[in-house]
Structure 1
Amino acid sequence: MSTPALQRRLGTFDATVIGLGSMVGAGVFAAFAPAAAAASSGLLIGLALAAVVAWCNATSSAQLAARYPRSGGTYVYGRERLGPWWGFVAGWGFVVGKTASCAAMALTAAAYLVPVAWQRPVAVLAVVLVTGVNLAGVTRTARLTRVLVALVLLALAAILLTAAVRGPLQPADLTGPSGVYGILQAAGLLFFAFAGYARVATLGEEVRDPARTIPRAITLALTGAVVVYAAVGVVLLLVLGPERLARSTAPLAEVLPPGAAWVAAVGGALASLGALLGLVAGVGRTVLAMARESDLPGPLAAVHPRRSVPHRAEIAVALIVVVLVSTVDLRGVIGFSSFGVLLYYFVANLAAVGQPAAERRYPHAFQLLGMVGCAVLAATLPWTSVVVGVGVVAVGVGYRWVRRRTG
């Protein structure tokens, strides 16, 4: 009897939409204020820097995914090219950081929709519903993501057009002045917004013609996200100004007339749900890959015989997220999540550097620039994010060492 396996059901369009839905998530509604606090109007330089580093990382991911079209993303690439420990560090950082992001997205969606007293129950309900969609099959995930992405883009277009027409637009130096450290910190925080293209790579076993589809989908999704974030950043700076933007808790709502603030609320809720949908799917596939190699408990490697999804892995992720949203508020984890993702892509770039010429699609310079960019942005994040990130990696290394010694 054959073991159930994931099925290749996604084409370029669906893979692109899943990546875009993961990037045009709550970050577009939440990341600009802390970035402005770090870099003032220089946040646009930070955004450009984050986009360059993301592009370098994307080329590495695309090149590796074409060679290793399996679930797990950089966890698989690190193991194959660098060794089991490198893969584990990347996978562990991704799973822990993005599980925390799942909780943050669920709580953010609830915060847009209901009063404080109802936010935790609604966040739990959001996790349950999203997990149910993912468990129904990857094509269901893709269909719902299409709807959510379309609605979010419509909401953003309405917000930006209304803000630009309503004004008043404030003449501003959109590129500074800001200190280098502040710009680097803003870039690290805004990198959180671009991390969603990893979802395409983690679905490597579920796309058709992966050598062609994955690189195209990653490039298209990242390009679309950069355009959206650049437009939002420019409008927010021109309408609110850097000082007001830095103090704002809901900048996209502030640029609207009082009676229209609900558009930003609905858009923020839908964006958060879209990001949550992609996150649960991506984390579940990475857990599946780690369980296959006994870096996580073996039963989590199961694939549902009819729906072809890693059902145990996704249910386990959902249960942990439910516990988190029921007990703690993780909406401030942008820095921590960025640290984990920057570590993840540092490993991806390092793995891509060593690929032979026959597998190479992009120059070495892209991977080297990506490595340096990831290291610099991680080091310049808020110190609390760096300390927590290093601590999480240390816990993971200790867990694997004990597991290997006792297993």
Structure 2
Amino acid sequence: MSQPSGAAGMPDALQRRLGVTDAVVIGLGSMIGAGIFAALAPAAHAAGSGLLISLALAAVVAYCNATSSARLAARYPASGGTYVYGRERLGDFWGYLAGWGFVVGKTASCAAMALTVGSYVWPGQEHAVAVAAVVALTAVNYAGVQKSAMLTRVIVVLVLAVLAAVVVASLTSSASTADRLGVGDDATFGGVLQAAGLLFFAFAGYARIATLGEEVRDPQRTIPWGISIALGITLVVYAVVAIAVLTVLGPQGLAEAAAPLSDAVRAAGADWLAPVVRVGAAVAALGSLLALILGVSRTTLAMARDRHLPHGLAAVHPKFKVPHRAELLVGAVVAVLAATADVRGAIGFSSFGVLAYYAIANASAWTLTPEEGRPARFIPALGLAGCLILAFALPASSVIWGAAVLTLGAAAYGIRRIVTARSS
């Protein structure tokens, strides 16, 4: 296999500064903010009383993806994640398609998180606030990855404290009833699958750890541990919060809630906690946005190194040791989307692109040998099948737009190959 691009020793290589704790925190910052405050309500709308089944399905697929990604990241500890794995294991086209799906899908995720910040901070002016948040966090990432990790650590602690308060208020309320957790007639097989696909949007944050492979110390140990710990903590948090909110609001109330956790504490009789939840939601979305911009810029860097994107985006800042041009471009694109996009549509579109990304990750993990740390065969097989099923179970508009954008990316790849061949 060829040496991963950006490997140690290259003049534009990034510095290995992050440990296991930093990797876990970056993963938590990516997952918890997105899932709890953005995906629960649309998922409940699709699944009804089958929401917890959808959560379990999304968790199984996420576990398979995380295991495949961890084994691959330990083998190829370079910036780019599945873009690198697909290229090394399946061929240049599949690596490119994974990178394209990730960059496009996660750019939509960035817009969704920025708009979530805006809707909680200043309802009615969410687009303006979203753009301001993107500009501010792009500046933080530009100043260096260590500063990003430290800020994310503070955000994760604050968000977990708020979520703990919501859980306690909901489960101790007289309005709580375990009967609301049962699966009723409103749950359909298609709806449960669609909700699982939407909830997957929230679980995909561990990809941030893999895309930072060139910036972690001892990647063979740090990446698998960081991914496993971050995903495990997130699964527990999601399950506890979903159960708590369902016992207060019920499936229908959750589906109709514009701000589910704020509505839950009000229904529990803890109105005083609602402003705290609003602040927590904004902080959580900021943490997720921070880590998302970080990951998208690193995949852009890897694709630029291989000239699938303009090579100038591969530049690393001589002082801050970050891919500064890639970060500025990503920030500019996200700011435009945040000024114009719809948050719920962005979630479905993002899920399709990211599920395609992980389908390629699982296919790549299948090709590993036992000596290379291959996981049990059923894990990448189940992960690949799960990604494809959940992707095509998403709302029709998300499937159509997602497939169209992936096709556009594939066409651009083919045109580039033709032009290159004729000029050589």
Deviation at 1:173, TM superposition (A): 5.4
Q: Indicate conservation of the 8 Å contact 2:103/2:300, yes or no.
A: yes
Alignment pair present for 1:365 and 2:374: no
What is the match of residue 142 of structure 1? 149
Residue aligned with 2:181, SS: coil
Alignment pair present for 1:353 and 2:362: no
Percent identical pairs in the alignment equals: 58
Deviation at 1:2, TM superposition (A): 6.8
- More moved, 219-228 vs 328-337: 328-337
* 1:175–1:285 distance in 2 versus 1, CA, 3 Å: farther
State how 1:170-209 maps to structure 2 within 5 Å: 170-172=177-179, 174-177=181-184, 178-209=187-218
State how far apart, in whole Å, the 2-side matches of 1:330 and 1:29 are: 12
- More moved, 164-173 vs 85-94: 164-173
- More moved, 230-239 vs 2-11: 2-11
Q: Indicate conservation of the 8 Å contact 1:287/1:313, yes or no.
A: yes
Alignment pair present for 1:50 and 2:63: no
What is the match of residue 248 of structure 1? 257
2:257 counterpart letter in structure 1: S
What is the match of residue 133 of structure 1? 140
State how far apart, in whole Å, the 2-side matches of 1:175 and 1:45 are: 10
Alignment pair present for 1:37 and 2:50: no
What is the match of residue 245 of structure 2? 236
- More moved, 201-210 vs 238-247: 238-247
Residue aligned with 1:169, SS: coil
What is the match of residue 400 of structure 1? 413
Deviation at 1:228, TM superposition (A): 0.6
* 1:329–1:259 distance in 2 versus 1, CA, 3 Å: same
State how 1:323-402 maps to structure 2 within 5 Å: 323-402=336-415
User: Deviations 1:94-130 (Å, cap 9, x if unpaired)?
Assistant: 10111111111111101111131x3322212211111
Q: Indicate conservation of the 8 Å contact 1:107/1:331, yes or no.
A: no
Report the count of equivalent residues: 406
What is the match of residue 74 of structure 1? 82
Displaced runs of 4+ in structure 1, greater than 6 A? none
User: Deviations 1:60-118 (Å, cap 9, x if unpaired)?
Assistant: 000000110000000000000000111111110110111111111111101111131x3
Alignment pair present for 1:88 and 2:96: yes
- 1:20 maps to which of 28, 33, 38: 28
State how far apart, in whole Å, the 1-side matches of 2:34 and 2:279 are: 11
1:215 counterpart letter in structure 2: P
What is the match of residue 165 of structure 1? 172
State how far apart, in whole Å, the 1-side matches of 2:35 and 2:264 are: 17
Deviation at 1:328, TM superposition (A): 3.1
State how far apart, in whole Å, the 2-side matches of 1:205 and 1:48 are: 32
Deviation at 1:174, TM superposition (A): 2.4
- 1:62 maps to which of 47, 67, 70: 70
Deviation at 1:180, TM superposition (A): 1.7
* 1:173–1:122 distance in 2 versus 1, CA, 3 Å: closer
What is the match of residue 291 of structure 1? 304
- 2:278 maps to which of 259, 265, 289: 265
Residue aligned with 1:172, SS: helix
Q: Indicate conservation of the 8 Å contact 2:73/2:220, yes or no.
A: yes
Q: Indicate conservation of the 8 Å contact 1:159/1:263, yes or no.
A: no
- More moved, 49-58 vs 170-179: 170-179
User: Deviations 1:299-330 (Å, cap 9, x if unpaired)?
Assistant: 00111112111110010000111112223334
Q: Indicate conservation of the 8 Å contact 1:26/1:268, yes or no.
A: no
Deviation at 1:332, TM superposition (A): 2.8
- More moved, 171-180 vs 62-71: 171-180
- 2:115 maps to which of 91, 94, 107: 107
Q: Indicate conservation of the 8 Å contact 1:163/1:235, yes or no.
A: yes
Deviation at 1:26, TM superposition (A): 3.0
Name stretches of at least 5 consecutive residues in structure 2 with no aligned partner: 1-8
* 1:300–1:122 distance in 2 versus 1, CA, 3 Å: same
State how far apart, in whole Å, the 2-side matches of 1:70 and 1:14 are: 17
* 1:59–1:289 distance in 2 versus 1, CA, 3 Å: same
Deviation at 1:374, TM superposition (A): 0.7
State how far apart, in whole Å, the 2-side matches of 1:199 and 1:312 are: 19
Could you state the TM-score of these two structures normalised by the residue count of structure 1?
Answer: 0.97
State how far apart, in whole Å, the 2-side matches of 1:66 and 1:259 are: 47
Name stretches of at least 5 consecutive residues in structure 1 with no aligned partner: none
1:168 counterpart letter in structure 2: A
State how far apart, in whole Å, the 2-side matches of 1:132 and 1:293 are: 26
2:233 counterpart letter in structure 1: G
- More moved, 321-330 vs 187-196: 321-330
